[in-house]
Amino acid sequence: MNSSMAMKLFNILLFCTPIYVGLTLSISAHAGGIGLLKKYDCASCHALTGPAPATLAALWQRKGPDLFYAGNKYRQAWLETWLQQPKRIRPAGMFYMNHIKPGPKRNMVDTSTLTEHIQLNKKDAKAIAATLASMKTHTALIQAEKHDASISPGPLGEMLFDKIYGCMACHQIEPGFGGMSGTEVYTAGKRLTPEFMLSYIRNPQAWDPKIWMPNAHLPDNNKQKLVNYIIKLSKESNDE
């Protein structure tokens, strides 16, 4: 093997090892935030470069949500607030099977296995939120969506979410009401960009190939209604 081939190999490695996180990030982001991500060792639980888990074994071991597309997913203001005052978003943790136990009527969440999230001071939260907001992959997926806030869900919103498409089987629409294996959606309107929600509902596997949310193949118009319903839920609840 000659040295130019070795160099090629090295280049390939460069793109698929998390060791080079800093290198890829520093092109676009605030140096301060990157230093802090390192200081707090956020990468020990969160993927700061892709790809998302491609096998079930990797999926089961994921310790925290992937953040390599954080800038396309979260609202920066929410990131800043949440990092200072983190509150549980997934009632059954990252992979629900790691956090449930048998119960008399159904499997129950074993809350003793869930841990509190690291809490940051205002200054560090602000710097990290800015860095996360600059981390944008899957931008083509976001650009393919156009949110239309004028399509009112009306009373149909809840019908679609609960009965017609069965989304509530996995998502809580208010504290303690709904399913446990997905994220709570009553705070999602404050947390997520509408384009991310539209795109995730269109094709969850495009973001996270092994995730246990199925693609329900909804018509575009109903996707808009569901997203506007989720946004409405966030305005109703005084839960941050």
224 is an interface residue for ligand HEC by CB under 6 A = no
| Count of residues that bind ligand HEC according to CB under 6 A | 40
23 is an interface residue for other proteins by CB under 8 A = no
Cα–Cα dist 144/139, whole Å: 9
| Binding residues for ligand HEC restricted to 64-103, rule: CB under 6 A | 64-65, 79, 83, 88-90, 94
Among residues 192, 200, 196, 195, the alpha carbon closest in space to that of 233 is found at 192
42 is an interface residue for ligand HEC by CB under 6 A = yes
Binder among 117, 136, 138, 210 for other proteins (CB under 8 A) = 210
163 is an interface residue for other proteins by CB under 8 A = yes
35 is an interface residue for ligand HEC by CB under 6 A = no
| Count of residues that bind other proteins according to CB under 8 A | 47
| Binding residues for ligand HEC restricted to 124-163, rule: CB under 6 A | 128
Residues that bind ligand HEC (CB under 6 A): 40-42, 44-46, 63-65, 79, 83, 88-90, 94, 117-118, 120, 128, 165-167, 169-171, 181-183, 188, 191-192, 197, 200-201, 211-214, 216, 226
